[in-house]
Amino acid sequence: MKPEDLTLDELMFFEGNPGALTLYEALRQRMEEAGIPGTFQAKKSQISFLNRHIFGAASLLKVLRAKDRPNPYLTVTFGLDHRADSPRIHGAVEAYPHRWTHHIMIGRPEELDGQLMEWLKEASLFAAQK
């Protein structure tokens, strides 16, 4: 993925926040390399990752207190049929029975690792089965 592959809406989402845009570009690149299928739709509060349904998102959601937040940061959200257990997960909620929403705050491209890509793949498969 090249920066020119991003839509104007994606670029506008990060207006005034170039550090978060850099993290988002790295996330999109990693997702492409990991073979995670989907489209990306920028809205006011998040950029949704979709196949048949939304399976994840990138946002500037503040899931950590200001003193604990990296600068820059990007919050990656994904949905699974179970609660994933990891100290990397900064919030998990069972929004519906057997539908868990997880939030991870990323501060460096190195955090976009295999474990996160596996969760996003699993989320994509889970959403496709709904």
pLDDT of 2 reads: 58
Residues of the chain whose pLDDT is less than 50? Answer: none
Q: Is 107 helix (H, G, I), strand (E, B) or coil?
A: coil
pLDDT of 81 reads: 96
pLDDT of 93 reads: 96
Are β-strands 74-80 and 46-50 bridged in parallel, bridged antiparallel, or unpaired?
unpaired
Question: Domains in the chain: how many in total?
Answer: 1
Length of the chain: 130
Residues 14, 20, 22, 26: is their CA dihedral positive or negative?
negative
Q: pLDDT tens-digit profile of 67-102?
A: 999 999 999 999 999 999 999 999 999 988 999 999
Residue 8 lies in domain: 3-128
Tokens, residue 74: 């990007």
- 105 contacts 73 by C-beta, under 8 angstroms: yes
Average pLDDT, the chain: 94
- Say what the pTM is: 0.94
